[in-house]
Amino acid sequence: MTRLPPALIRRAAHENPFLPLLLRVCRDLPSARNELRWLEEYVQETVASRRRRLYDMRERSGDLGEQVPIGHHGARIARISRNTFTGHNRCRVLANRGSVAERNFCTIHGPLAAQPTGSSRNSEGKTVRRHIYSSKGNKKDQASPGRKISKGVQRRAARRNLSNTRDNATAEDGSSARKAVSDGMRNGSDQLIRKFLTKAVHDRSRGKPLQHILGNQPFGNLKILTPNTVLIPRPETEAYTENVANMLASAVQETDQRAGDHEPRNRRKLRILDLCTGSGCIALLLHSILKPPPNSLSSTSSDHHWPSTIDLEILGVDYHPTALEVANRNLHHNIYKGLLHPEAATDISFMRQDLLRLTLDTKTRRDPHIRRTFNLKTEDGSAKAAPAPTADHEHGGVEGDVDPDSPWDVVISNPPYISEKDYAPGGTTERSVRKFEPKTALVPENGPSVHSGDLFYWPLAQIFDAVGARLLVMELGGAEQAARVHKVLTKGFRFQARRDPHALFLECWKDDGTVIPLPILDSGNRMATHDRPTTAATTASAESESDDAPDRALFLWSGPLAVWRREQVGETDVPLRFEFGRLYMPKPAKDHQRQEPPLDLIK
């Protein structure tokens, strides 16, 4: 890492004392300014939220001041004194933690019973808060039968009555009381904002991700909660997920329109598997685009209206219970914020499953056990996102009328794909990622010594083939890994490709939107004219042709969709930029293996 120029540091310090600390991680002044602005907004919102909650609690209790009775919270009275001139009782309260606080109390209850009078310091030098509580009077000032009242007592009583009259007048509307309390809280909030901002900037300067400090990460139109137990969603994942969702949305619209014109509008279902779901960001973003929430901009347009005759089911699968817990929190959080359709609570569910163990335990390549595992949500293997699970979920029954052998349409996954070598210090993984994000979401566990980052790709392809899906999307870590995974898929699907060269279609997507068609057969076999060598050097050269954008995802199309995709992309050997078109899908067949018209996606 290069050293920052001293002139840049001096300029940042002259502008704001926090900017030099942020330059440690941002490395340039515009980025540091943006992060400081985000941190300031976050701290101001946090302090304002706390202030509102404190005010609401006091207002609901009927007292805008502090009305904590003496003796609560384990406090004990240390000393009591009396001020005979003002008529207030003063006490010193010793809290449980040993610090002495001064608090004035009385027996009057009302919106103006407590008035903050500033702060003082105790014998230990700590700042203590002081509140004045009005009193009906001292025993010395109260008249008793047969006792003569002096003139001094009368003058003090008159002053107290005048003060009470003014207090009652201002308490009728409560505006003065609210202003006094608001001013007191505002004066204290400035120091609180400074304290919170200092801590946030210090954490950020140590490399802590900004998403962990702010608590969330924008992902499409969603707000994904980002605790340190899950991977922070990346913009690259967001980009290809939005493209896949828009393509599926177009397919659904075309299917519904054609079905309405030529055939009965039977109910159908689009089923999506999100494997290695983590925070659930991919599953939630797919749902938000396919079925936009009410009153959103996308839901008002006709192009994004979800047909009533088509159901949507998305299942997120992960092995770690903490990830499933965060995914459920993100689901309900975005529904509560109005960023997800309310039906997402029933359309989206999450299951705990070890994908590697599932594929190792299968006896054949298309073992029906894999498909039934995802269709039968058992008590031990599922984490239903709905608030109140039904009895079928508790006892391992089938959800609704789902056939245990029903196929799935789309399999999408962002698996752990970083090798131990790249994750170690000195590798390609950043230090902040190694320090603050979970390793299990980045590096496959118990992987082989050679290319351990590729451990999940062939099991994902096996699941794709076993569940009868038509589209497989797998995120990658670069050109070299794309070449290795391409070789694995070519070897695994060579028999299907030889039997029907048009049954499968493979392509690579880059971060800049470039699409590169890839051969599904070895380069020595004769097939379509878009065959390309599968070496890493060739992939790297193609990468240089597309503005050095890294390879981001591999797409494997199957069946009729492979035929449609090949015709749409074209038989070319040059990287091209692709804009998603529309899919026409006639009436689906009950048998997934039966050859239907070329664009049958929704069963």
CA distance 294 to 105: 52
- Stated as kind and residue range, the H or E segment containing 575 is none
pLDDT recorded at residue 452: 85
Residue range 347-355: mean pLDDT, rounded: 95
Count of CA atoms in the C-beta half-sphere (13 A) of 72:
6
CB 356, CB 379: distance < 8 Å: no
State the pLDDT confidence band at 591, using cuts at 50, 70 and 90.
very low
Which of 525, 601, 517 minimizes the C-alpha distance to 556?
517
Asked if the model's pLDDT at residue 387 lies above 80, the reply is no
Residue range 520-545: mean pLDDT, rounded: 45
State the pLDDT confidence band at 495, using cuts at 50, 70 and 90.
confident
Burial level of 68, CB count in 10 A (0-12/13-18/19+)?
middle
Task: Kindly state whether residues 489 and 578 are assigned to the same domain.
Answer: yes
Query: Is the residue at 317 inside a domain?
Result: no
Task: Kindly state whether residues 46 and 82 are assigned to the same domain.
Answer: no
pLDDT recorded at residue 66: 46
CA distance 63 to 101: 20
**Terminal-to-terminal C-alpha distance of the chain:** 53
CB 143, CB 158: distance < 8 Å: no
pTM: 0.71
Residue range 86-95: mean pLDDT, rounded: 40
Asked if the model's pLDDT at residue 505 lies above 90, the reply is yes
Residue range 491-518: mean pLDDT, rounded: 89
Residue range 18-35: mean pLDDT, rounded: 95
Q: pLDDT digit string (tens) for 412-426?
A: 999 999 999 999 999
Residue range 219-246: mean pLDDT, rounded: 95
Which of 362, 382, 388, 549 minimizes the C-alpha distance to 467?
362
- Structural domain of residue 80, as residue ranges? 72-141+153-173
pLDDT recorded at residue 377: 61
pLDDT recorded at residue 300: 54
Give the chain's mean pLDDT: 74
Which of 548, 479, 542 minimizes the C-alpha distance to 516?
542
- Higher per-residue confidence, 363 vs 114: 363
pLDDT recorded at residue 168: 52
Query: Is the residue at 25 inside a domain?
Result: yes
pLDDT recorded at residue 342: 95
Residue range 207-231: mean pLDDT, rounded: 96
CA distance 545 to 282: 29
Asked if the model's pLDDT at residue 554 lies above 80, the reply is yes
pLDDT recorded at residue 597: 35
Asked which of 33-47, 337-351, 494-508 is least confident by mean pLDDT, the reply is 494-508
Residue range 104-132: mean pLDDT, rounded: 41
Task: Kindly state whether residues 501 and 546 are assigned to the same domain.
Answer: yes
Q: How far is CA 566 from CA 233, 397, 489, 515, in A?
A: 31, 41, 18, 12
- Express as a percent the part of the chain with pLDDT over 90: 45
Q: How many residues does the chain have?
A: 603
Query: Is the residue at 110 inside a domain?
Result: yes
3-state secondary structure of 576: strand
Asked if the model's pLDDT at residue 84 lies above 50, the reply is no
Residue range 74-94: mean pLDDT, rounded: 39
Task: Kindly state whether residues 41 and 103 are assigned to the same domain.
Answer: no
Query: Is the residue at 228 inside a domain?
Result: no
pLDDT recorded at residue 58: 75
Residues 6+ apart with CB under 8 A from 171: 110, 111, 112, 177
Asked if the model's pLDDT at residue 353 lies above 70, the reply is yes
> What is the C-alpha R_g of the chain?
33
Asked if the model's pLDDT at residue 340 lies above 90, the reply is yes
Query: Is the residue at 433 inside a domain?
Result: no
Give the number of domains in the chain.
3
Asked if the model's pLDDT at residue 408 lies above 80, the reply is yes
Which of 228, 236, 233, 229 minimizes the C-alpha distance to 284?
233
pLDDT recorded at residue 309: 83
pLDDT recorded at residue 222: 96
78: left (phi over 0), alpha (psi -120 to 50) or beta: alpha
Task: Kindly state whether residues 86 and 54 are assigned to the same domain.
Answer: no
Asked which of 154-163, 281-290, 460-469 is least confident by mean pLDDT, the reply is 154-163
CA distance 553 to 289: 20
pLDDT recorded at residue 118: 44
pLDDT recorded at residue 155: 61
CA distance 237 to 242: 9
pLDDT recorded at residue 22: 96
pLDDT recorded at residue 157: 66
- Higher per-residue confidence, 152 vs 442: 442
CA distance 539 to 535: 7
Task: Kindly state whether residues 24 and 127 are assigned to the same domain.
Answer: no
CA distance 212 to 466: 38
Task: Kindly state whether residues 551 and 603 are assigned to the same domain.
Answer: yes
Query: Is the residue at 32 inside a domain?
Result: yes
Q: pLDDT digit string (tens) for 246-303?
A: 988 888 877 777 765 555 556 788 999 999 999 999 999 999 999 999 877 665 554 5
Asked if the model's pLDDT at residue 89 lies above 90, the reply is no
Task: Kindly state whether residues 13 and 159 are assigned to the same domain.
Answer: no
CA distance 412 to 324: 17
Task: Kindly state whether residues 119 and 161 are assigned to the same domain.
Answer: yes
Residue range 434-457: mean pLDDT, rounded: 86
Query: Is the residue at 468 inside a domain?
Result: no
pLDDT recorded at residue 306: 82
Query: Is the residue at 241 inside a domain?
Result: no
451: left (phi over 0), alpha (psi -120 to 50) or beta: left
Asked if the model's pLDDT at residue 114 lies above 60, the reply is no
Which of 406, 234, 385, 378 minimizes the C-alpha distance to 316?
385
Task: Kindly state whether residues 197 and 85 are assigned to the same domain.
Answer: no
State the pLDDT confidence band at 135, using cuts at 50, 70 and 90.
very low
Asked if the model's pLDDT at residue 527 lies above 70, the reply is no
Residue range 455-482: mean pLDDT, rounded: 94
Asked if the model's pLDDT at residue 67 lies above 70, the reply is no
State the pLDDT confidence band at 124, using cuts at 50, 70 and 90.
very low
Which of 144, 166, 159, 163 minimizes the C-alpha distance to 85?
159
State the pLDDT confidence band at 479, using cuts at 50, 70 and 90.
very high
- Reading the block at residue 227, the tokens are 């605790």
Residue range 508-520: mean pLDDT, rounded: 90
Task: Kindly state whether residues 91 and 34 are assigned to the same domain.
Answer: no
Task: Kindly state whether residues 512 and 580 are assigned to the same domain.
Answer: yes
